[in-house]
Amino acid sequence: MKLSSPLQHPPQHYFARSLVTARSWPFVIDIGIGACLLALFFAIVHMGSYWMATPMPVIPISHSVRALPIYAFYSVVRIGIAYLLSLVFAITYGYIAAYNPRVEAWMIGLLDILQSIPVLSFLPPVVLAMVALVPGHQLGIELGVILLIFTGQVWNLAFSFYSSLKSIPKEMLEASRIYRYSPWQRFWQLEMPNATIGLVWNSIVSVAGGWFALIACEMFTMGSRNFQLPGLGSYLQTATASGDVKALIAGIAVVILIVVATDQLFWRPLIAWSDKFKFEQVESADRVTSPILHLIQQSNLTAIPLKVWTSAHLPNIDELIYRRFARTRACRIVQPVDEDQPIRKNSVALWTIAFIAVGLVAWGASQAVIMLRGVTWLDVRLLLMGAGATFLRVNASLLISALWTIPVGVAIGFNPRLARIVQPVAQVLASVPATAFFPILLIGLVKIGGGLGIGSVALMLLGTQWYVLFNVIAGAMSIPSDLKEAASLYKFTRYQRWTTLILPGIFPYLITGMVTASGGAWNASVFAEYSHLQDRTLETIGLGAQIQEATDSGRFPMLLLATILISVIVVSMNRLVWRRLYRLAETKYKLLA
């Protein structure tokens, strides 16, 4: 029997255990969970009535503090729905890309392009399409904003899930074949557990990206049309435009309160729960704990579904599903894992999908050529100069981010005591949207007489550094404890630990973080290079500034050409740098027994 020392458990573990062992506390916990469920039901009813109402593109925004709760509610609902859509899309897209060699390169290349295109480039087609799709209801405008927030969250999660599938140890895949796992069993018992840690940590950054997009999407101008929805994003924008510092501080304070509550009630329990999926042969003495998770696990309300599920009077649905899959040919015949398997013959369905895709691309290309006729050579030269300037800023922000996030992330992932202190602070700072701090930084730049030429790099850092940091933390935490103990046992020097254990262990996660951070930097360029501050417009040369100007003035040919330039730059970087590094992570730095 394994005995544990009291020193292995932090004080919060005893605090949570003492709460749930008291006779009265489970009843109080059940009351709280029941109240949360009732609040959720009320939220669904309220949002349903609001979405089905007559559309109002421009809703007056009050600067009163009393209006902040309802604005916060609307913003949280939009981000929550966008996150759920992002998670489903990321898992589906990453799974298809990882296990279909014929389309893998195309799908990853497309993912690189989409995650680097700024949100404002998606804005005109998405909003107009949703308004036309659901006419006569507020739901159309709301769906457009939710999908724009979706574009700020999904790419990071998709890259994380894809890289997790590609880094599964080969012997684990072989074991799943030997034991004749069905695709359903392999997904839930091997692939999802292997990807959980990365998904949880990248979800934190993705939600921060959702806040980033929210502040830009709740209030925007598209040619001659204005859109202004109730929410924290429009509240902060109107407060900044009018110079209402008190309202601006109040709005940022509410955002921080939401972020702190989300961290303690949602992310911290998920991190503690995901720690059990670490791939290791020796159990670590230090585990991430969460009092909230412990309280939820001890609640009678959460225990009732489990008791019903495991009741002897009801059939075991999992067992029925597994038995059904066991009769299939894939489970009856052991198939070895071979990276050089012959590609199956093309099916009629695949050819049909390819034909439709080619037709849509051809039609879109012809429409783009027609639209680009309105662009002059002077516009092209200006866009090329802007592309070069933004490219330099993006890479400068990536380099600066990597210089401090790699050592800090490894220290947090390796030291549980330090993680308990620094990790919550880092999660809160990462979850607060960078665009919420932009007005304050811009006011500072104006007061010191600086411009956006160099200051835009600092603004980009706010939207990029957290992608690298949290991927490095996830990579450091996923390194098996037995490898760490072996390094200590053989008395590795600091240089040896970094070159033979740490850097190879975090390399797949680091590449994922750098790729998504690059996309975050391109997105942040729109706000870092062009901003409205009271009665002034601050701008510097760059693609981000030109995209913002084209959106405000309704010059869609310029917007399209700027988006094409970003796509060309991203594709070139993908083929020359990122794809080679991904291949290196899959072959040389893959964890094998």
Domain assignments of the chain as residue spans, ordered by start: 10-51+299-338, 52-279+287-298+348-587
pLDDT tens column, 489-541: 888 888 888 888 888 888 888 888 888 788 778 877 877 787 766 666 777 88
Mean pLDDT of 223-245: 78
From 35-39, 106-110, 304-308, the region with the lowest mean pLDDT: 304-308
pTM of the shown model: 0.67
Q: Looking at residue 514, what is its pLDDT?
A: 87
Nearest in space to 568 (alpha carbons), one of 236, 109, 153:
109
Percent of the chain topping pLDDT 70? 71
Strand ranges, E, within 278-396: none
Structure tokens at 576: 């020359």
Structure tokens at 213: 């997009």
Asked if pLDDT for residue 413 goes beyond 80, the answer is yes
Q: pLDDT band for position 240 (50/70/90)?
A: confident
Q: pLDDT band for position 85 (50/70/90)?
A: very high
Is the C-alpha dihedral spanning 511, 514, 520, 526 positive or negative? negative
Domain 52-279+287-298+348-587 carries which CATH code?
Answer: 1.10.3720.10
Q: Looking at residue 336, what is its pLDDT?
A: 52
Task: Tell me the pLDDT of the chain averaged across its residues.
Answer: 75
Structure tokens at 179: 């034991």
Asked if pLDDT for residue 342 goes beyond 60, the answer is no
Mean pLDDT of 137-152: 81
Mean pLDDT of 173-182: 80
Exposure b/e, 533-562, CB count within 10 A at least 16 = b: beeeebbbbbbbbbbbbbbbeebbbbbbbb
Structure tokens at 308: 């019903």
Q: pLDDT band for position 20 (50/70/90)?
A: very low
Q: Looking at residue 89, what is its pLDDT?
A: 92
Residue 531: helix, strand or coil by DSSP? Answer: strand
